[in-house]
């Protein structure tokens, strides 16, 4: 019974780390990455549509992103959406494709981005700890109902704590890697 709780808790923790990784992928690190544009929504025939669904995205160089719309009539809307986004990028349109030159980050901006990365990491750790609390509450309820013994409860709580420690360490590694990527000149 408590194996199910352990498995369920681990799944939720995995999802938390995955969400953190996706969130960090959208933070600009000075090098071109198509994931930067994941949150850009383009008005396409009156419907807000993710940019990556209406255009091909590529990074042919370290500081250049190329956006090639599947429908050339969407060029203007894509340009507007990029300008409206908080990415701070200026699109260059040649009638067929849009080029985005990724400018070099200033030291001050790098430090701001590192703070943001740490904030996301801390939020992910809080989510992991909430999952631990939920699992422990469920174990306490099971003990109270007589489904498991006190020894089983303690053993299961220890396992949940080991799981929590492992995922918190995993989050620290993900955050440290992103920090290093941002601070790299």
pLDDT digit string, tens, across residues 119-144: 999 999 999 999 999 999 999 998 89
Bridge partner residues of 58 (DSSP): 66
Residues 97 and 164 in one domain: no
Looking at residue 9, its pLDDT comes to 92
> 59-104, pLDDT tens digit by residue?
888 888 899 999 888 888 888 888 888 777 788 888 888 998 887 8
Residues 159 and 175 in one domain: yes
Residue 61 has phi, psi (to 5 degrees) of -130, 170
The token duo for 113 is: 């981005």
Residues 82 and 114 in one domain: no
The token duo for 129 is: 């700890």
The token duo for 74 is: 């969407």
Residues 152 and 111 in one domain: yes
Last residue of a domain, one of 51, 67, 101: 101
Instruction: Give the CATH number of the domain where residue 49 resides.
Output: 3.30.1360.40
Residues 110 and 163 in one domain: yes
Q: Look up the domain containing 48 and give its range.
A: 34-101
| Other C-beta atoms lying within 10 Å of the C-beta of residue 61 | 12
Single pTM value for the model: 0.73
Q: Compare 101 and 173 and report the one with higher pLDDT.
A: 173
| Other C-beta atoms lying within 10 Å of the C-beta of residue 55 | 23
Looking at residue 30, its pLDDT comes to 67
């Amino acid at each position: 019974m408590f194996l199910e709780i352990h498995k369920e808790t681990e799944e939720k923790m995995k999802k938390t780390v995955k969400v953190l990784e996706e969130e960090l992928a959208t933070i600009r690190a000075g090098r071109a990455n198509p994931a930067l544009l994941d949150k850009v929504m383009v008005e396409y025939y009156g419907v807000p549509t993710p940019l990556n669904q209406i255009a091909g995205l590529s990074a042919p160089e370290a500081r250049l992103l190329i956006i090639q719309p599947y429908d050339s009539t969407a060029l203007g809307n894509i340009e507007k959406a990029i300008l409206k986004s908080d990415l701070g990028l200026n699109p260059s349109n040649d009638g067929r494709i849009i080029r985005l030159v990724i400018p070099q980050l200033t030291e001050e901006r790098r430090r701001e981005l590192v703070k943001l990365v740490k904030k996301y990491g801390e939020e992910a750790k809080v989510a992991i700890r909430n999952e631990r609390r939920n699992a422990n509450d469920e174990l306490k309820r099971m003990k109270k109902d007589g489904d498991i013994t006190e020894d089983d409860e303690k053993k299961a709580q220890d396992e949940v704590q080991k799981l929590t420690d492992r995922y918190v360490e995993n989050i620290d590694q993900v955050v440290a890697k992103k920090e290093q990527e941002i601070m790299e000149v």
